[in-house]
């Protein structure tokens, strides 16, 4: 699997007398097999635009996107999206929600339930198959969303602030859970977050984006998620001097962007 | 040493209506602070109904109002028994109920069969919306009585014009409900379906239609209400049976007790159906407003 974004720009046309807005300008990004790429930046920096571009919900004004050499034309099952919220179907129970993608693809009921049950187990949702999703906590709903995205065996997972609506404790647990799943499945991930600590902890590659026009300004290779995977406790990783040093560096970049906007 | 007992604390007073209107107070445990209009109303409603019946009974029994204007509850009940046994204008009472119910529910079913798909299509397609929006918005606010003459000129005085009149009054709210229900689906739900490779039809079938269900059910409740409202107008012309006919012809002979009895029967049927719809709503869309 390799995703290549080559000089992609997105310009929203002028409206209501305002000039055109450059949401993304000349973005170059390559995501290879098994990479965990995290996008971080002040609001308006175009990280969601970039995700919508990869998902195929949006076409670039100029530049190209290819997935395994094929040009990206619209959404497809090879790129699964995990949303921040509102994406589950409340009229279906947990099992049917997780099996929803397979149902869309016409997989027979027995087969799709078997696959769905595997991922329900992987996400620690066993025993909740028949529960209505609207009765679950936010953290469990998000796990249902992740399980649903995984069932169709996508080449890449696109996660749009998936933990943004969770409380701090649940969020840290969910981070570790996602890293474990990532380790077990070996999927490539594109992950958006507002949290610097989350970005540093989870990614193998961090792209820092800046607004007006939205663009990638810094790229860092990160060692921390690998450290966690090879057995280091999460809190120890987050307390290490390198982690804290990099966190300050990234925070400085982001605050500089915020001040430039004001 | 003697201990002077502390003065007893006064019992907390239940706040009166005006106190509650003046200032928000802390809620009892188990209630949520500041939810507008919270609290159980069942017993108040029972009391309200009882009180109204009592006043009705009192003013009629004391002879404050002539029976021609307001007949007593006993008289209305007796009239109900009499018509139940003997029928009204040579038609059995149950037949009156049956024919009216058939007219209203026939028109209602027809309006749902045509209106729901049309409303969904209007929500999904700007072309269909562009075509059907003007005629529906044009006739919707017109009172059915105003176009009743047209119905009669065009479709005669038979069943067609009666059912059509009721149909038209149910049709508009059902179409508008289904149409706005299309917008209920969150864009994330729609995007999720597309990202699994769904076709437009699959998104419609698996995301948009289920999420529109709460609004559709509400629209159906509103629609059937309009249907009963229009019933009397529909039975004004050349009807020989039906509850609306019964009320109208009784009024011509100043049989006020029959008029009131007919009103109660219509209200009871409409209310029973509304209870059924509420039950269906709880069964079909228990997730309404919860996600």
- The pLDDT tens digits of the residues spanning B241-281 come to 999 999 999 988 889 999 999 999 999 999 999 999 999 99
Contact B210 A91 (CB under 8 A): yes
Contact B189 A101 (CB under 8 A): no
Instruction: Quote the pLDDT of residue B2.
Output: 62
CB atoms under 10 Å from CB of B233, counted, come to: 20
Q: What is the pLDDT of residues A29-70, one digit of tens each?
A: 999 999 999 999 887 788 899 999 999 999 999 999 999 988
Q: Is residue B285 less than 8 Å (CB to CB) from chain A?
A: yes
Write out the DSSP string of A150-215: HHT--SEEEEESTTTTS-HHHHHHHHHHHHHHHHHH--EEEEEES-HHHHHHH-SEEEEEETTTTE
- Nearest chain A residue (CA) to B199: A104
CB atoms under 10 Å from CB of B121, counted, come to: 18
Contact B206 A80 (CB under 8 A): no
Q: Is the pLDDT of residue B12 over 60?
A: no
Which residue from B191, B196, B290 is facing A134, i.e. has the nearest CB?
B290
Which residue from B188, B206, B286 is facing A87, i.e. has the nearest CB?
B188
Which residues of chain B neighbour A80 with C-beta distances below 8 Å? Answer: 195-196
Strand, coil or helix: A27: strand
Averaged pLDDT, B89-95: 89
Probe site for chain B from A104, A141, A146, A162 (most B CB atoms < 10 A): A104
CB atoms under 10 Å from CB of B76, counted, come to: 20
Which residues of chain B neighbour A90 with C-beta distances below 8 Å? Answer: 287, 290-291
Contact B291 A86 (CB under 8 A): yes
Which residues of chain A neighbour B291 with C-beta distances below 8 Å? Answer: 86, 88, 90, 133-134
Instruction: Quote the pLDDT of residue A16.
Output: 80
- ipTM of this predicted structure: 0.90
**With b meaning 16 or more CB within 10 Å and e meaning fewer, what string describes B175-198?**
bbbbbbbbebbbebbbbbbbbbbb
Instruction: Quote the pLDDT of residue B285.
Output: 92
Which of B 173-202 lie inside 8 A of A, CB atoms? Answer: 186, 188-189, 191-198, 202
What's this model's pTM, rounded to 2 decimal places? Answer: 0.84
Q: Is residue B289 less than 8 Å (CB to CB) from chain A?
A: no
Percentage of chain A surpassing pLDDT 70? Answer: 99
Q: What is the pLDDT of residues A207-224, one digit of tens each?
A: 999 888 888 999 999 999
Instruction: Quote the pLDDT of residue B139.
Output: 92
Contact B196 A77 (CB under 8 A): yes
Which residues of chain A neighbour B204 with C-beta distances below 8 Å? Answer: none
Average pLDDT, rounded, for chain B: 89
Q: How far B212 CA sits from the closest chain A CA (Å)?
A: 11
Averaged pLDDT, B176-199: 93
Q: How far A76 CA sits from the closest chain B CA (Å)?
A: 5
- Nearest chain B residue (CA) to A160: B188
More reliable by pLDDT, A49 or A165: A49
Q: Is the pLDDT of residue B167 over 80?
A: yes
Q: Is the pLDDT of residue A256 over 90?
A: no
Contact A89 B206 (CB under 8 A): yes
Contact B195 A79 (CB under 8 A): yes
Contact in structure between A65 and A5 (CB atoms under 8 Å): yes
Residue B109's contacts (CB-CB under 8 Å, 6 or more residues apart) are none
- Nearest chain A residue (CA) to B202: A104
Q: Which of A183, A160, A162, A158 is nearest to A171 (CA)?
A: A162
Averaged pLDDT, B185-207: 93
Which residue from A75, A132, A134 is facing B195, i.e. has the nearest CB?
A75
Contact A89 B290 (CB under 8 A): no
Instruction: Quote the pLDDT of residue A249.
Output: 93
Contact B186 A86 (CB under 8 A): yes
Q: Is the pLDDT of residue B15 over 80?
A: no
- Nearest chain B residue (CA) to A136: B291
């Amino acid at each position: 699997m390799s995703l290549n974004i080559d000089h992609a720009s997105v310009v929203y046309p002028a409206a209501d007398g305002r000039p055109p807005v450059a949401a993304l300008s000349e973005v170059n990004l390559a995501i290879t097999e098994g990479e965990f790429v995290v996008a971080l930046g002040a609001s308006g920096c175009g990280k969601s635009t970039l995700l919508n571009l990869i998902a195929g919900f949006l076409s670039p004004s100029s530049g190209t996107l290819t997935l395994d050499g094929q040009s990206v034309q619209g959404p497809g099952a090879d790129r699964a999206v995990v949303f921040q919220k509102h994406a589950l179907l409340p009229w279906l129970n947990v099992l049917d929600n997780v099996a929803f993608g397979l149902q869309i693809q016409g997989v027979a009921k027995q087969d799709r339930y078997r696959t769905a049950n595997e991922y329900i187990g992987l996400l620690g949702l066993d025993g909740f198959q028949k529960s209505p999703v609207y009765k679950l906590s936010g953290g469990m709903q998000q796990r249902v969303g992740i399980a649903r995205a995984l069932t169709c065996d996508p080449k890449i997972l696109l996660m749009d602030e998936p933990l943004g609506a969770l409380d701090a404790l649940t969020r840290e647990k969910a981070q570790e859970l996602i890293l474990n799943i990532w380790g077990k499945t070996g999927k490539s991930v594109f992950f958006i977050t507002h949290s610097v600590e989350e970005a540093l902890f989870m990614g193998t590659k961090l792209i820092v984006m800046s607004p007006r026009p939205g663009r990638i300004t810094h790229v860092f290779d990160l060692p921390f998620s690998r450290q966690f995977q090879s057995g280091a406790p999460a809190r120890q990783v987050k307390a290490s001097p390198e982690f804290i040093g990099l966190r300050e560096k990234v925070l400085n970049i982001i605050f500089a962007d915020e001040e430039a906007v004001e | 040493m003697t201990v002077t007992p502390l003065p007893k604390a006064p019992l907390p007073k239940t706040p009166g209506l005006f106190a509650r209107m003046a200032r928000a107070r802390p809620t009892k445990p188990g209630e949520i602070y500041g939810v507008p209009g919270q609290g159980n109303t069942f017993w108040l409603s029972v009391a309200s109904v009882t009180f109204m019946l009592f006043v009705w009974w009192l003013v009629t029994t004391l002879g404050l109002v002539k029976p021609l204007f307001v007949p007593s509850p006993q008289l209305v009940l007796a009239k109900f028994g009499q018509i139940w046994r003997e029928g009204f204008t040579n038609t059995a009472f149950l037949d009156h109920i049956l024919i009216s119910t058939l007219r209203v529910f026939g028109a209602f079913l027809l309006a749902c069969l045509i209106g729901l798909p049309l409303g969904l299509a209007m929500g999904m397609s700007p072309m269909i919306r562009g075509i059907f929006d003007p005629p529906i918005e044009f006739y919707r606010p017109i009172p059915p009585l105003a176009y009743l003459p047209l119905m009669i000129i065009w479709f005669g005085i038979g069943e067609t014009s009666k059912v059509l009149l009721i149909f038209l009054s149910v049709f508009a709210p059902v179409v508008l409900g289904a149409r706005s229900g299309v917008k209920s689906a969150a864009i994330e739900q729609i995007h999720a379906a597309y990202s699994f490779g769904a076709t437009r039809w699959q998104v419609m079938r698996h995301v948009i239609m289920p999420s529109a269900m709460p609004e559709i059910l509400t629209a159906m409740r509103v629609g059937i209400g309009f249907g009963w409202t229009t019933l009397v107008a529909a039975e004004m012309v050349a009807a020989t049976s039906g509850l609306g006919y019964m009320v109208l012809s009784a009024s011509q002979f100043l049989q006020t007790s029959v008029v009131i009895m007919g009103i109660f029967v219509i209200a009871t049927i409409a209310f029973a159906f509304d209870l059924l719809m509420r039950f269906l709503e709880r069964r079909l869309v228990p997730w309404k407003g919860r996600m």
